[in-house]
Amino acid sequence: MPFKLTINDKQHDVDVDPETPLLWVLRDTIGLTGTKYGCGIAQCGACTVHVNGDAQRSCQIAVKDVGEAKITTIEGLSPDSSHPIQKAWLAIDVPQCGYCQSGMIMAAAALLKEKTKPTSKDIDERITNLCRCGTYTRVRAAILEAAKQA
Amino acid sequence: MTTATDHTNLSRRAFLLAAGAAAGSLTLGFGTKPAAANGAANYAPFTTSTPEITSWIVIQPDDTTIIRVARSEMGQGALTALPMLVAEELECDWNKVKAEFAPPSENYSRKVAWRAKAQKGAPASHELVTHWGAMSTGGSRGTRDSQLYLRESGAMARTMLIEAAAKDWNVPTAECTAAASVITHTPSGRKTTYGKVAVAAAGITPPTRVTLKDPKTWRICGKSVRQINAPLKVNGSLAYGIDVRLPDMLYATIAQCPVFGGNIKSIDDAKIKTMPGVRQVARLTDSTVVVIADSFWQAKKALEALPITWDEGPNAKVTSASIAEFQIAGFAATNAGVTNQAGDALGAIDNAARKIEAEYHTPFLDHANMEPMNCTAKVADGKVEVWVSSQNGEAAHAAAAEAAGVKLEQVYVHKMHLGGGLGRRGSYNDPIHYAVLAAKRTNGRPVKLVYTREEDMSHGFYRPASRVIMRSGFDDKGTPTGVHIRIAGQSINAWHFPDRIKDNLDPAQANGFHKEDFGYAFPNLRVEVAMRNTHVPVGVWRSVNSSQNSFYKESFVDEMAHAAGKDPFEFRRGLLANAPKHKRVLEIAAERAGWGKPLPAGVFRGIAVENAYGSYQAVVAEVSVTDRGALKVLRIVNAIDCGHAVNTNIIEQQMQGSVVMAMSALLYGENRVDRGRVVDTNFDTYQLLRIDEVPVIENHIVPSFDFWGGIGEAGVPPIAPAICNAIFAATGKRIRSLPLKHHNLAKA
């Protein structure tokens, strides 16, 4: 079934099973592989993208339900890694293996948009993504740093 | 560019997009010049544009210095730390360094080790069998085992570059110096750059002997240096194995018999053959079936709908409880292997004025790397290509050749970045094997095989379940007179490397209890291991047996301290008189944590020390436990001596990560077994630590500059016992089994 999707401010025409999760449309159909598969059950958050600005787990969104929503993936967060979260991530050297970091950054960017000065408690409540390398200490530091710079 | 309604062109266009974004690793073997990755690429494909100066270094006219890395990158920083060792001696400008993987296929095809070629007649200070040496990345060996030849290569190349400049200027080399990629003729002040003399330098015979710097004078190493490819990890452009996209690529997903050792009885593939996108339903082995389709999602849906009847075999009734019973029987087994024996421990305990005994156990644990197992393979025109995130490029090469039934010369391995390794991507090449078998059936079309998370976690190579009984005797002053340790658990080497087992002893099962790493001096000691192997596949899991043994040992030593009525820090310190490195980190951790000083009300401390995978670490943990039993780990103070500290930034990352991984295992980690299969197959029941549970972590990196340790694994083992010892201090409850979620810490 054909769908028109707005991803990173560009329109994409795709023809896929309506039940296909947005995650796999992004990765396999469109080729935006920055959004990762980790669990498929909304636990890990590696697939986090923005849907109309909100952090959502794309493994749980059937493509038929996307409609007119504006989707932003890690590739569209900024053209040149200049988003305050990306800059703080680099300044603090957050990533280890890096696999979960797209989702982590998207979750952090959404938090920062909603609360320009998030507290450590806000981070505890809103950053629910899993990182097996254990970058959490620096994730927290980078979000607080980005909030300072923003 | 990505708007595509014409699906025949879509995969080609998407490939170009992905290749551009991936900074070139995908373009290896295609002869395509890689595009820059959003201007941030600091990672390049294998470069042959200018000649090599030693096999490790290629310097381009603009001074860009490409340094090859034989090991894999899984977040532990090999792609940064190993080039730093080269760059330190090379005296190049670190900002101009790019790292690239040395290809496994070429490691094999070049045959001769680079040093043998470069340094004929020189003393072989380090044997390399293949050209760039071992590619296997594990055991915290990356720095320890390659530092010497990497530093030598840098020093040799520096000498060659200086010689080339001196020849050009017609001056003695002794009058020339090099720093930050610039060569200076000191008397005249003339200068040139590495890039200008690189081609000439490549033609110079490498020196047979070089003098290496005293690490205390390092300028690049020993500092906090950011990971070289971090820019590609913050914009989604770094390509992991799972991100490979090739023209005409098909997708596959796999089902293996859920009961280990079982087989397929029958499948009814007619039921799914007409589902959208399905190309093939293929039984790859007696126990394995894949669906190959036009997309992963189609393959997954079809496989879920495929009726499979399993012949579950003789293990279908095994449970965690039956495994426990079997391992408990190991406590009485008469054929246990013995390691680390001194005096007469059994006699000393029998005759002791006072004795204690405790039994501990830990469950199977999956690696749970965030990137599920996957591999992409292409079998065409007598050649086999695989794209894989592997900890062992050479093993991947061999596995692909074996699965395809071709010679090594016919195989090319593209080393991709790993979305975590933790041991799972080392010697176990199952995704490579199955991807190649699948790709043999698709007439040259590449196949990307991706395991679902559930399949990945159902077919891991788990940290083995194990148990231990520890006994100790004391004299009437509370001094230990003897210690007896009997481990009963599954052997990893029995599964993978049976030739490492001698006299019924798999030494790895006693990690941390050996003479070399135990540290504590007891007059009478006996450490025994009863192998109790199950049908569950086991493997190396970050810090391997040390991850459990340290929990056993350091918890029991704490029990001994309390039984002796002594302070747990002072008790350990007194027993470490002959283990100065253990003792030093213990003292540093205690001092930095303020051991012995008052704590806020409700906060309690625990301590532990360990020597694992080359390094020495001590930990002080601070916890609080509410009356209702809610645990909060508040602070972890680590002191780590890894000998030489090459990059303190990466060491800190590894220590932070070790705390998290150890706490995930401590609080939640278990893969239960029921009806012969693993029950916990995704993160809903196999929980990992999240950000709200992470304590304050302080790391004190205190290298002692007289050995080369390792950092990938060292950090994990002593974390759990330090926290459990703090829990004991807080509650009086001794934690003797993991995970903690099964314990009630509430006040009685």
Are the CB atoms for B76 and B85 separated by under 8 Å? no
> Which B residues 422-451 touch A at CB under 8 Å?
422, 450
Q: Which of B420, B450, B480 is the last residue of a domain?
A: B450
Among B571, B542, B465, residue whose Cα is nearest residue B717: B542
Per CB-CB distance under 8 Å, the chain B contacts of A137 are 656, 694, 697
| Alpha helical stretches, state H, B209-279 | 230-233
Residue B247 resides in a domain? yes
The share of chain B scoring above pLDDT 70, in percent, equals: 92
**pLDDT tier for residue B114 given thresholds of 50, 70 and 90:** low
**pLDDT tier for residue B28 given thresholds of 50, 70 and 90:** very low
Per CB-CB distance under 8 Å, the chain A contacts of B689 are 134, 136
Per DSSP, the three-state class of B99 is strand
CB contact B310 to A (< 8 Å): no
The share of chain B scoring above pLDDT 90, in percent, equals: 88
CB contact B648 to A (< 8 Å): no
Is-cis flag, bond preceding B739, omega within 30? Answer: yes
pLDDT digits (tens, 9 = 90+) for B183-192: 999 999 999 9
CB contact under 8 A, A74 and B235: yes
pLDDT digits (tens, 9 = 90+) for B403-425: 999 999 999 999 999 999 999 99
pLDDT of residue B687: 98
For residues B378 and B416, state if they share a domain. Answer: yes
For residues B347 and B385, state if they share a domain. Answer: no
Q: Out of A13, A100, A139, whose CB is closest to B3?
A: A13
**pLDDT tier for residue B12 given thresholds of 50, 70 and 90:** very low
Instruction: Say how many domains are in chain B.
Output: 3
Give the C-alpha separation, B341 to B571, whole Å.
21
CB contact under 8 A, B2 and A10: yes
A-chain residue closest to B236, CA distance: A34
Q: Looking at the complex, report in whole angstroms how far the Cα of residue B450 sits from the nearest Cα belonging to chain A.
A: 10
Residue B747 resides in a domain? no
- Provide the strand spans (E) within B70-171: 97-101
Residue B26 resides in a domain? no
Residue B456 resides in a domain? no
CATH code, A84-149: 1.10.150.120
For residues B591-612, give the mean pLDDT.
98
CB contact B8 to A (< 8 Å): no
Are the CB atoms for B213 and B89 separated by under 8 Å? yes
For residues B671-686, give the mean pLDDT.
98
For residues B206 and B245, state if they share a domain. Answer: no
Q: Out of B7, B232, B691, whose CB is closest to A136?
A: B691
**CA B281 and chain centroid, separation:** 34
B-chain residue closest to A62, CA distance: B297
> Which B residues 347-376 touch A at CB under 8 Å?
368-372
Are the CB atoms for B462 and B364 separated by under 8 Å? yes
User: Which residue do the tokens 């055991």 mark?
Assistant: B139
For helices B546-563 and B568-575, give the axis angle rounded to 10 degrees. 110
For residues B485-503, give the mean pLDDT.
93
Q: Which of B407, B424, B450 is the last residue of a domain?
A: B450
User: Which residue do the tokens 């690189």 mark?
Assistant: B198
For residues B199 and B60, state if they share a domain. Answer: yes
Domain-by-domain residue ranges, chain A? 2-76, 84-149
User: Which residue do the tokens 């790859």 mark?
Assistant: B284
pLDDT digits (tens, 9 = 90+) for B453-462: 999 999 999 9
Give the C-alpha separation, B569 to B575, whole Å.
10
Per CB-CB distance under 8 Å, the chain A contacts of B77 are 96
B-chain residue closest to A28, CA distance: B295
pLDDT digits (tens, 9 = 90+) for A41-99: 999 999 999 999 999 999 999 999 999 999 999 999 999 999 999 999 999 999 999 99
pLDDT of residue B426: 92
For residues B564 and B651, state if they share a domain. Answer: yes
Ramachandran bin of A49, using left for φ above 0, alpha for ψ from -120 to 50, beta for the remaining angles: beta
Are the CB atoms for A51 and A7 separated by under 8 Å? no
For residues B726 and B669, state if they share a domain. Answer: yes
* Mean pLDDT (chain B, rounded): 91
Residue B650 resides in a domain? yes
What residues pair up with B179 in beta bridges, in sequence order?
Answer: B182
For residues B505 and B387, state if they share a domain. Answer: no
Joined tokens for residue B728: 């004991």
> Which A residues 131-150 touch B at CB under 8 Å?
131-140
Give the C-alpha separation, B581 to B259, whole Å.
45
Structural domain containing residue B377 = 241-313+373-450
Residue B52 resides in a domain? yes
pLDDT of residue B37: 30
Joined tokens for residue B692: 């709200």
For residues B76 and B152, state if they share a domain. Answer: yes
CB contact under 8 A, A81 and B38: yes
pLDDT of residue B112: 73
Q: Looking at the complex, report in whole angstroms how far the Cα of residue A127 sits from the nearest Cα belonging to chain B.
A: 7
| Residue B10 pLDDT exceeds 60 | no
Give the C-alpha separation, B531 to A23, whole Å.
45
Give the C-alpha separation, B298 to B14, whole Å.
19
**pLDDT tier for residue A149 given thresholds of 50, 70 and 90:** confident
B-chain residue closest to A103, CA distance: B236
Residue B623 resides in a domain? yes
pLDDT of residue B376: 97
| Residue B501 pLDDT exceeds 90 | yes
Per CB-CB distance under 8 Å, the chain A contacts of B421 are 97
For helices B719-731 and B546-563, give the axis angle rounded to 10 degrees. 30
Give the other-Cβ count within 10 Å of B56's Cβ. Answer: 26
Q: Out of B38, B238, B660, whose CB is closest to A136?
A: B660
CB contact B665 to A (< 8 Å): no
| Residue B603 pLDDT exceeds 90 | yes
Interface test with A, best of B72, B232, B235, B653 (most A CBs within 10 A): B235
Among B548, B709, B543, residue whose Cα is nearest residue B147: B709
For residues B557 and B540, state if they share a domain. Answer: yes
| Residue B41 pLDDT exceeds 90 | no
For residues B52 and B179, state if they share a domain. Answer: yes
Per CB-CB distance under 8 Å, the chain B contacts of A20 are 295, 297
CATH superfamily membership of A2-76: Beta-grasp domain (3.10.20.30)
pLDDT digits (tens, 9 = 90+) for B250-279: 999 999 999 999 999 999 999 999 999 999
B281 residue type, one letter? V
Residue B359: its H or E element: strand B354-362
Q: What CATH number is associated with residue B217?
A: 3.30.365.10
Give the C-alpha separation, A23 to B126, whole Å.
48
For residues B207 and B75, state if they share a domain. Answer: yes
For residues B149 and B108, state if they share a domain. Answer: yes
**pLDDT tier for residue B47 given thresholds of 50, 70 and 90:** confident
Size of interface A-B (CB pairs under 8 A): 210
Give the C-alpha separation, B665 to B462, whole Å.
12
pLDDT of residue B128: 58
**Phi, psi dihedrals of residue B662, rounded to the nearest 5°:** -65, -40
**pLDDT tier for residue B129 given thresholds of 50, 70 and 90:** low
A77 residue type, one letter? L
User: Which residue do the tokens 């820019």 mark?
Assistant: B231
**pLDDT tier for residue B134 given thresholds of 50, 70 and 90:** confident
pLDDT digits (tens, 9 = 90+) for B716-733: 999 999 999 999 999 999
Per CB-CB distance under 8 Å, the chain B contacts of A125 are 692
Per CB-CB distance under 8 Å, the chain B contacts of A80 are 38-39
CB contact under 8 A, B236 and A75: yes
| Residue B372 pLDDT exceeds 70 | yes
For residues B311-337, give the mean pLDDT.
97
> Which B residues 39-98 touch A at CB under 8 Å?
39-40, 74-77
DSSP tag of A141: H
Are the CB atoms for B713 and B423 separated by under 8 Å? no
User: Which residue do the tokens 């890990």 mark?
Assistant: A44
**CA B87 and chain centroid, separation:** 24
A122 residue type, one letter? D
Q: Out of A12, A40, A99, whose CB is closest to B2?
A: A12
Are the CB atoms for B536 and B529 separated by under 8 Å? no
Residue B1 resides in a domain? no
Give the C-alpha separation, B471 to B352, whole Å.
11
B-chain residue closest to A136, CA distance: B691
For residues B701-709, give the mean pLDDT.
97
Give the C-alpha separation, B622 to B619, whole Å.
10
Per CB-CB distance under 8 Å, the chain B contacts of A139 are 691
pLDDT digits (tens, 9 = 90+) for B325-340: 999 999 999 999 999 9
Per CB-CB distance under 8 Å, the chain A contacts of B684 are 41, 43
Q: Looking at the complex, report in whole angstroms how far the Cα of residue B455 sits from the nearest Cα belonging to chain A.
A: 11
Q: Which of B211, B233, B255 is the last residue of a domain?
A: B233
Q: Looking at the complex, report in whole angstroms how far the Cα of residue A32 sits from the nearest Cα belonging to chain B.
A: 8
Q: Which residues contact residue B397 at a Cβ distance below 8 angstroms, ignoring those fewer than 6 apart? A: B104, B105, B108, B408, B411, B413
Q: How far is CA B390 from CA B140, B287, B396, B448, in A?
A: 15, 23, 7, 15
Give the C-alpha separation, B632 to B603, whole Å.
9
pLDDT of residue B45: 62
User: Which residue do the tokens 């200076």 mark?
Assistant: B184
* Mean pLDDT (chain A, rounded): 97
Give the C-alpha separation, B619 to B656, whole Å.
12
For helices B430-439 and B393-404, give the axis angle rounded to 10 degrees. 40
